Amino acid sequence: MKKKCEICGNEFEAVRDTARFCSDKCKKQAYRGSNSELEEEPRVEEGIKKKDLSKLSAEDLYNGISTYKEDKWIDSPEHEELMRRLKELSIEELEEQGFKIPNWKRMEGKEIEI
């Protein structure tokens, strides 16, 4: 069925009758809310986003990453934040906060026998 996007006004072919937006881009824009000031300054928005991510618990980060479809999580800000913490924090700190420790992290600082 043809529907009109609530954000950009374009007509689009909707798979479900609950569809309200023509694209992921419009959907994201809609979920960002009606605060158009932020959209004019994407750098500020990004800064806020990163700040909020740094407060997330290990569980929140893993949950956030798991919500991405297919391999899109690789480029997600949650994954970026996870990698940042894996690199910056010690194994003890990571375990304390509930992170899963990847093998490369355990190998850090140890001599690898070939």
> Contact positions toward Zn ion, by CB under 5 A?
5, 7-8, 10, 22, 26
- Report the nearest approach of Zn ion to the CB of residue 13 (Å): 12
Least distance between Zn ion and beta carbon 8 (Å): 3
Residue 16 CB, shortest distance to Zn ion, in Å, is 16
Nearer to Zn ion, 24 or 75 (CB): 24
The string of DSSP letters for the chain reads -EEE-TTT--EEE-SSTT---SSHHHHHHHHT-S-HHHHH-HHHHHHHHHHHHTT--HHHHHHHHHTS-TTGGGGSHHHHHHHHHHHHS-HHHHHHTTPPPPHHHHHTTSPPP-
